[in-house]
Amino acid sequence: MEMIIDDKAANWYIEELQLQKGDMVQFFVRYGGCSNVQKGFSLGVAKQQPEEIGASAELNGITFFVENRDLWYFDNHNLRVELDEEGNEPTFTYIEQ
């Protein structure tokens, strides 16, 4: 799985979570919500230290990652995170590998 984080989305997370260089942001599976790849589940986001990184991307000194245990959620899809400028919030797009 590959993670692609848009610069604008990375900057949004930096501002919203008050991140500093060297911080780490986890995308994790949570029960509930809406997803195009797993019904009944969605992604949560937290400033967190990793246990076992399954996929990651680094932008502006921040590491964005998914734990190895959560890779099942992506079901052979890559994750693209972009900023919806109109709604001023990140969006997740799942791209089949």
Range of the domain at 62: 3-96
Q: In the block, which residue shows the tokens 């029960």?
A: 31
Strand partners, 43: 29
DSSP state of 13: H
Which residue, 88, 85, 78, 97, is CA-closest to 27? 78
Distance CA 61, CA 58 (A): 6
Q: What is the pLDDT along the chain (97 residues), one digit of tens a residue?
A: 999 999 999 999 999 999 999 999 999 999 887 777 777 788 999 999 999 999 999 999 999 999 999 999 998 999 999 999 999 999 999 999 8
Residue 59 belongs to domain with CATH number: 2.60.300.12
Domain count for the chain: 1
Predicted structure pTM score: 0.92
| SS3 call for 60 | coil
